[in-house]
Chains A and B, each alone.
Chain A
Amino acid sequence: MTLYPFTFQAMASTNEVQVHAATPEAARFAAALAIEEVRRIEAKYSRYRPESVLSRINAAAGDDPVSVDPETAQLLAYADSCYRMSDGLFDATSGILRLAWDFKKPRVPTERDLAPLRTRIGWPRVELTATTVRLPEAGMELDFGGFGKEYAVDRAVAVLLEQGVTSAMVNLAGDLAITGPQPGGAPWRVGVQHPRRTGAVVATVEVASGALATSGDYERYVEVDGVRHCHVLDPRTGQSARGFQSVTAIAPACLVAGTATTIAMLKGVALGQEWLAALGLPHLCVLEDGAVVDRTGGR
């Protein structure tokens, strides 16, 4: 068994698949299928591609219901569960807030910018059936940014497992999954990105199997008057999350790890940690002052 790493571009970032396989051909074959699956999901749910399923749904906002395939319907059902479990903090219609938040300019949107956008947010108003979806108002938008990449990680893992790959890692820009320990039984050592120092790690976590996702305030943000406003936005207020520099969680599925960390970010330090503890997932938080709370268990 030898470790074969593959890097590839998708979803606007550099990603990797590492596969332990007996031959380079077997590794390349399994990795190619996994990468193809990631690209399929990207094409299907990208907001930037006019022909994507997501673009079709958004284009029909205020119009007739759009019929969707089972996969999309299931993803929407997942988004629905997340909305309900988070008391509205996780809202797949909140992507519209990007119209007010331009993270390239040091400016915080005013209430006048946010108020009209908030009226276009509201998951409960989305008309969902088993085969169709309808956005009731023109200008409303669905955004799979909160779970599309995580779903792609899970699907890539499923493809690798179907190919009989027992030891592999799929890493889509920091959201990753590990299918099993390395040959010899050693766990994979995962470095968690330091929220304030590019290229540095704030902690390392050993994972023999499981999915790991990180939500942080450092990817897109503006700093105004010493206050950092990051891209994790509260759908109820339109304001950015406070209290954590980053939250990392390990779960049986990357979807769940990603949802758990996003909701924790939005809940803030006290309630966020309570939420993670209640979920019972191993997690690691970097608080506003840089303190690290490691609840990944053991070493």
Chain B
Amino acid sequence: MAATDGTALAALMRAALALPVLALPVRAHAAEVGEIGFALLGYKERGLMKISEPLMWGKVQIGDNWTVSASALVDIVTGASPELVSNASGTPMRTVTGASISDRRTAGDLKVTRRFGALALGASRAVSNEEDYRSRAFGLDASYELEGKLTTLAAGYGKSNDRVGSADNPDLDERRDTKEYLLGVTQVISPTALAQSSLQWSRGKGYYNDPYKRTLTFYPDADLPILYDDTRPAERNTLAWLTRYRNHDPGRGTLQADYRYYHDDWGISAHTLEVAYQWDLSEAWSVRPSLRYYTQSAADFYGQVVPRPPPEVLSSDQRLAAFGGLSPAVRLTWRLDTVTVEGTAGYYYNAANLRPGGGTEGFVPLRAYYGLLTIVKSF
């Protein structure tokens, strides 16, 4: 290739600028771009718990190649629920205890991304602390844009070292270590359509038990009930495949469809399908109704009753049962200049009969509401 000497361009520009036109500086990027955001989440599970989550984040692009982002959050959990599943005379019966605890979680993360042309490398660090749980995680990720920028490949690795404790048992201090991997591809299909597919898998070892959960069973021939601590396998390997599709209809809106398949070696297989449409009502306002359907099979060791003799692993945590869930939500977005305000209201309904073929008998339907408010200012 010939060297750039600039004289040819200068001559062409001189000839063009003899005309009543103005030269525009050629720039691919704005010099410095950043944003700060604030989010507040409220969650109410009927009679059970309420979480509010003030979250702040900031992101700044420095020059063309560096991006730094950070976030911090405080979770306030009130009325969390230690619960018991019990049965009298063989029929499982669930009791929800009224005991109420209040907990506070603080968390933060920092991520630095450096771009080398088509390649971007990122490193992140996240910490999270609460009274009975502590997490330290770091991650590395890379993305590479193929010639023409229509295809982006991504790979990631993450490691998380957690400590599990208990407010009830000061002696409990157990480890849980997880390694996560990701491979993904994003493809521009047309000027308005985009598809993304990624495979994530993780290998975890350590303490997975819920120190607050016990399974209680009354056998008619025994005087005392059997009380069994939540006991889960000391390993968990998961696999998730996520595919997203976005189709933008200029001037009207954007269709979003996501499908996720999940499988782990506890015996849980899950499917999630979410469809949303964002209507652009005007340049300032848009509304996005969405509907998510979820279904999962039960973990192999899920049970509401302690069998005789007691097994090695057993949990009556409803989240390990077979069930289905529907979650409609609506999000309203308002943009003015560099400020974006979003409000989301959603509802969860999880029930056994929402799983094709029926879920776990005795599954107590979960009804929960949540609201999310986000404010983002870019500069």
> A residues near B, CB below 8 A?
1-5, 71, 74-75, 77-78, 80-82, 85, 151, 154-155, 157-158, 161, 177-179, 181, 183-187, 191-192, 199-211, 250-253, 255-256, 259-260, 273-275, 277-282, 284, 291-294, 296-299
Contacts and interface: CB of A to CB of B under 8 A. Distances in A.
B4 A279 contact: yes
Nearest to A79: B15
A74 B189 CA distance: 43
Nearest to A73: B18
A211 to B, nearest CB: 6
Closest 8 CB pairs of A and B: A203-B148, A185-B30, A81-B15, A154-B21, A210-B26, A184-B378, A292-B148, A280-B4
Most buried by A among B5, B17, B21: B21
Contact of A208 (B18, B30, B284): B30
Contacts of A259: 12
Main DSSP-derived SS at the A contact region: mixed
13 contacts: A75-B19, A78-B19, A154-B16, A185-B378, A201-B188, A202-B150, A203-B149, A209-B25, A210-B27, A253-B24, A260-B12, A292-B147, A297-B117
Main DSSP-derived SS at the B contact region: loop
Contacts of A74: 18-19
Given A85-B12, A184-B379, A205-B149, A253 B33 contact: no
Interface in B322-360: 335-338
Contacts of A274: 1-2
Interface in B62-88: 64-65
A264 to B, nearest CB: 12
Contacts of B169: none
Most buried by A among B16, B34, B117: B16
Interface in B173-192: 188-191
Contact of B3 (A205, A209, A260, A278): A278
Interface of B: 1-6, 8-9, 11-35, 64-65, 115, 117-118, 120, 145, 147-150, 188-191, 250-251, 283-284, 335-338, 378-379
Given A4-B283, A185-B32, 5 more contacts: A71-B20, A154-B22, A187-B28, A293-B147, A298-B28
A25 to B, nearest CB: 14
Contacts of A273: 1
Most buried by A among B15, B27, B378: B15
A73 B191 CA distance: 39
Nearest to A179: B24
Given A181-B30, A260-B12, A280-B4, A252 B150 contact: no
B27 A85 contact: no
Contacts of B3: 278
A251 B26 contact: yes
A294 B148 contact: yes
A5 B51 CA distance: 42
